[in-house]
Amino acid sequence: MATLGFESYAVLPFFTMFLAIYLIGYFLIFRNWSPKIRPEASSCLISFFHGTPAVLLASAAILSDPNRGFAAANTAFQKLVLDYSIAYFLMDLLHYLVFFPSDVLFIAHHLATLFVVATCRHVVSHGAFAVLFLLLLAEVTSACQNAWTLAGARRKEDPFAAKVYEALSPPFYALYSVVRGFAGPYFVYEMVVFYAGEHGDGLVPRWIWVSWVAVVLMAIAVSILWIWNLWVELYRERTRKLQEKIR
């Protein structure tokens, strides 16, 4: 009889870890912050513990596979990294359902992401290379984005936070634009070319990889619209400050 290893149950301890980090943030680290921004700050805290570690883990899981590529079968290490991300998105989804149940866009984003990661982990035996690489691209800007978000949440109350927010905005916007506007779409193109071709036929059911592509393309489109609006807002703000100095 086959035995189930740790990776078969890894979501639960990972989820417990993210829940503990969230509660520590909410009740201890950010206890003196405004009640309006404590949930968002706690969400950023668990994102700190997911984003950069996920990039490092995904990179290691991909590079440790000598057969890495779109055709490679999922490895035990890769499945563990997928479980790590599943646990994070479940915890952050719970955060939105409790504190921001009307934020349909983010809830839908998390559900769609969970569909992609969970189907790769539990439904098919291939695709981890593609999903982990997409995860890597999605999270490589995470640390900068979380610092920017926390600074933005406090900028009206804390002059130092306002300076950090202003300093981080241009480089964060630039990095985010490159990753989401160029690197992400290019990788999705390569992914479609492979799975739609004869070499990818049968590795991942068509309905699954098409669903993955649809989810990722929608996420990229929303991301591009979001960062475009931030660039426009930054331009208007810098223009206004320049005009005030001239006067």
Contact 152, 172 (CB under 8 A): no
pTM: 0.92
pLDDT of residue 122: 92
Mean pLDDT (the chain, rounded): 93
Q: Answer for the pair 57, 88: CB distance below 8 angstroms, yes or no.
A: no
Q: How many distinct structural domains can be found in the chain?
A: 1
C-beta separation of 222 from 112 below 8 A: no
pLDDT of the residue at 223: 95
Residue at 123 is within a domain: yes
229 lies in some domain: yes
152 domain residue, yes or no = yes
Q: Is residue 1 part of a domain?
A: no
Do the domain assignments include residue 5? no
* Domain membership flag for residue 219: yes
Tens-digit pLDDT profile for residues 19-44: 999 999 999 999 999 999 999 999 99
Domain annotation covers residue 233: yes
| 4 in a structural domain | no
The residue range of the domain holding 47 is: 10-19+28-246
pLDDT, tens digit, 9 for 90 and up, residues 89-122 = 999 999 999 999 999 999 999 999 999 999 999 9
Measured in whole angstroms, how far is the alpha carbon of residue 25 from the centre of its chain? 19
- pLDDT, one tens digit per residue, over 133-146 is 999 999 999 999 99
pLDDT score for 159: 93
